[in-house]
Amino acid sequence: MKELLDRALADRYGVAAFNIINDLTIEAVVAAAAEERAPVILQTSVKTVKQYGRPQLFAIVQALAHDASVPVTLHLDHCPDRSVIADCLDGGWNSVLFDAHELDVAENLRQTTEVVAEARKVGAHVEGEIEGIQGVEDDLGSDEAAPVQSLEVAVDFIERTGVDCFAPAIGNAHGQYKRTPVLDAQRISDLVAATGIPMALHGGTGLSDEQFTDLIARGCAKVNISTALKETFMQSGLEFLRETAERGKWDPPSLFRHQRTAVLEMARRHIRLFGGSGRAW
Single-letter residue type at 204: G
Contact 173, 144 (CB under 8 A): no
- Residue 76, classed as helix, strand or coil, is strand
Which of 63, 18, 31 has its CA nearest to residue 265?
A: 31
Residue 68 three-state SS = coil
C-alpha–C-alpha distance, residues 70 and 251, integer Å? 32
The residues annotated as belonging to the active site are 77
Give buried/exposed letters for 138-170 (b at 16+ CB in 10 A, else e).
bebbeeeebebbeeeebbbbbeebebbbbbbbb
| Position 176, amino acid | Q
- Cβ–Cβ < 8 Å for 68, 76: no
Which helix (H) or strand (E) segment holds residue 56: the answer is helix 54-65
